[in-house]
Structure 1
């Protein structure tokens, strides 16, 4: 069994099931007699020595994390620079680890988090303090390599497909005298996995969504308008699903505002109104648009049971790896078969995951670029299977948990993280 305590931190945008991973971590650690601290607000909590003692939480509260959305301990968008650029932050992390006898660091996030965990695993040794670092997969964008899918994606996929199906029924019922074109914008900066999942809403020709715009394809306004016009002529209305990362022929995001987040990513959001303005101007149709934004990743009430199970499993496996003394690895999901859908978890080196991005395969998109293929359906369909709804209270709303988040007494001087 690994010596010392475990520090668990959540990173980046949260998902409907990231707390299920936290439950998997804490419950498994308790079964093994291991202590878990959590970093308040992600890696910033580790740098600030703002740690949470999860042993103070009731068993029932930890179990309730399985059905509670958001990030129970807080998350942040903060990327550690290289050792050469900011050695002080790495030295501070090791100082905090040493002060609290932390020998395992579990970083629950996406690509940037895998990169950070990988760096810390190497730098700890270089600074004279061995700490085993394990990246725990989480991203709604489904863009981590090696793993078959990312915990968080299946639930967003289910929410998106469901929303497209329900909203399209509404549009269809009013199309004769009202809205002819409905555009829904989904997350996905560089990879179109969420947009592709919308394709599960339809099962036969003529079903919505009628147009899917992927970030992997260059946006062709003429081809897009022609497809919208043809669809309205044949079906009576047109449902469009657009990834926020759609780019024009010059490689510019249609929705880019010019602002950037802490990871250096372009701040997006607003491709739907751009498309609606184009349709109105060129085709004259009445349009409506929707921007689900955070609703996509917080919709725990309609989460995929497959996704919840996988999110819990990677947390559980991360602790098992910690107990075995594994370092610089990530528990990844391996698909065994499509029908019936079977999966398992294996350890993959962080070197193979960090700084790589999984985009939609070309054979997942139809030749015209506006839909998904049978191969995409085989991959996507199992990920949205099953329901595991939260308990509902007398007020008709889900019952979620708020943890006590008792602080661990500090031992070190105050530290200010770089901006």
Structure 2
């Protein structure tokens, strides 16, 4: 039995399958007789010494995490700054790890989380503390560098494509006497991967979505409105999918919600669909409906992708294997080995190649007119939404999701109010 404890924490916005990764982590650690603690509410739980003993959970509950959305141990949006600027917090974190004999730290998140895991590994080395830090990939935005795709994206992409297909059928049925334009807002601050996934909803040139607005292309209002008018004249209705992060040529977010910055320093976005709908109604006179699915995109476990589920579990299992093998400051990433048939495997990548790098869509994935995806994009995206991974349902017709006990371990240090 390896000596020491493994600490797992979830970070940032959760996904439909982040708990599947947690299940993979805990199951693999249990198979290797390693004790697993979980930080309540992400890195804040570690700083507060608010740690959960996952050993109190039944094997059935841990298996049930694989089909349960949300973040079973709680997540947080809390960014640690540089080692110099946040020295006291990093040292507090190391103090907590020492107190509970944590020798392996797994941080499940996106770019900022990879950066935090890297910095913790550097601090541990400075203090000569034997700690192996692993970043575990997760994000619905699909913008992590190195990895072919991100666990969480495939399920959100499937939800997006299916929702757009179904909504388009609704609009088509009503277009003669009612709604002519429908606007769907997809998550994606700087990278339009989710908006691109909506393109899988249709096959032919007149299929919805008829217009996709990507953050990788500058938003030109006059060109957009002209295209809407053209599509309605030809097809009879128009379905628009817009990324929340679209910007004008001068770099201004179209959907700046006016809410300032979040804890990661990001502009608070929201409302691009309502903005576009208003412009279409006022300028073109069409009846418009719009939707902001928001959290629904990332919590829709009922329509998760089987590919995504398997990859989420695989990175969790690999993270434990990498940690116990002493592969410090690394991340398990997905490498595609074949498109037809679709095949993939897990490899290791150094955290400094992932942290704070952002993967945007290749130019070859965007149609020349900027309003749709290419065959190359379709070839990349389609396998990621493939397969159904329905959760079990109860007699009440609701998915049988699990809720953990989340029993806290006894604290050993003075309280932290930082």
Gap runs ≥5 in structure 2: none
Q: Is 2:272 the counterpart of 1:271?
A: yes
How do 1:96-107 and structure 2 match up within 5 A? 96-107=96-107
Structure 1 position 282, deviation (Å) = 1.1
Rounded to whole Å, the distance in 1 between the matches of 2:127 and 2:45 is 21
Deviations 1:238-270 (A, max 9, x none): 000000001112211011123211000111110
SS of residue paired to 1:345: strand
Tell me which residue corresponds to 1:280: 281
Q: How many residues align?
A: 417
Rounded to whole Å, the distance in 1 between the matches of 2:255 and 2:226 is 21
SS of residue paired to 1:3: coil
Tell me which residue corresponds to 1:320: 321
Q: Is 2:326 the counterpart of 1:342?
A: no
Deviations 1:180-234 (A, max 9, x none): 0000001000000000000000011100000000001100111111110110001
Rounded to whole Å, the distance in 1 between the matches of 2:13 and 2:147 is 19
SS of residue paired to 1:348: strand
Q: Is 2:298 the counterpart of 1:297?
A: yes
SS of residue paired to 2:256: coil
Tell me which residue corresponds to 2:163: 163
SS of residue paired to 1:367: coil
Structure 1 position 128, deviation (Å) = 3.0
Rounded to whole Å, the distance in 2 between the matches of 1:150 and 1:268 is 22
Structure 1 position 3, deviation (Å) = 3.2
SS of residue paired to 1:346: strand
Give yes or no for contact 2:39–2:51 (8 Å, CA) kept in 1. Answer: yes
Deviations 1:357-376 (A, max 9, x none): 00011100000000000000
Q: Is 2:182 the counterpart of 1:148?
A: no
Rounded to whole Å, the distance in 2 between the matches of 1:265 and 1:127 is 32
Rounded to whole Å, the distance in 2 between the matches of 1:378 and 1:94 is 45
Tell me which residue corresponds to 1:399: 400
Rounded to whole Å, the distance in 2 between the matches of 1:322 and 1:6 is 9
Structure 1 position 70, deviation (Å) = 0.1
Of residues 156-165 and 277-286 in structure 1, the stretch that sits farther from structure 2 once superposed is 277-286
Rounded to whole Å, the distance in 1 between the matches of 2:205 and 2:198 is 15
Structure 1 position 384, deviation (Å) = 0.2
SS of residue paired to 1:333: strand
Give yes or no for contact 1:2–1:325 (8 Å, CA) kept in 2. Answer: no
Rounded to whole Å, the distance in 2 between the matches of 1:52 and 1:301 is 27
Tell me which residue corresponds to 1:364: 365
Give yes or no for contact 1:26–1:36 (8 Å, CA) kept in 2. Answer: yes
Rounded to whole Å, the distance in 1 between the matches of 2:133 and 2:21 is 16
SS of residue paired to 1:108: strand
Structure 1 position 2, deviation (Å) = 5.1
Q: Is 2:129 the counterpart of 1:129?
A: yes
SS of residue paired to 1:198: helix
Deviations 1:30-66 (A, max 9, x none): 0000111000000000000000000010000000000
How do 1:187-206 and structure 2 match up within 5 A? 187-206=187-206
Structure 1 position 399, deviation (Å) = 0.5
Give yes or no for contact 1:8–1:36 (8 Å, CA) kept in 2. Answer: yes
Tell me which residue corresponds to 1:207: 207
Of residues 88-97 and 123-132 in structure 1, the stretch that sits farther from structure 2 once superposed is 123-132
SS of residue paired to 1:257: strand
Rounded to whole Å, the distance in 2 between the matches of 1:28 and 1:232 is 54
Rounded to whole Å, the distance in 2 between the matches of 1:313 and 1:3 is 24
Deviations 1:276-297 (A, max 9, x none): 1111111100000000000000
Tell me which residue corresponds to 1:306: 307
How do 1:230-269 and structure 2 match up within 5 A? 230-258=230-258, 259-269=260-270
Give yes or no for contact 1:183–1:290 (8 Å, CA) kept in 2. Answer: yes
Give yes or no for contact 1:211–1:371 (8 Å, CA) kept in 2. Answer: yes
Give yes or no for contact 2:2–2:33 (8 Å, CA) kept in 1. Answer: no
TM norm structure 2? 0.99
How do 1:98-117 and structure 2 match up within 5 A? 98-117=98-117
Rounded to whole Å, the distance in 2 between the matches of 1:61 and 1:129 is 33
Rounded to whole Å, the distance in 2 between the matches of 1:308 and 1:171 is 31
Rounded to whole Å, the distance in 2 between the matches of 1:86 and 1:382 is 42
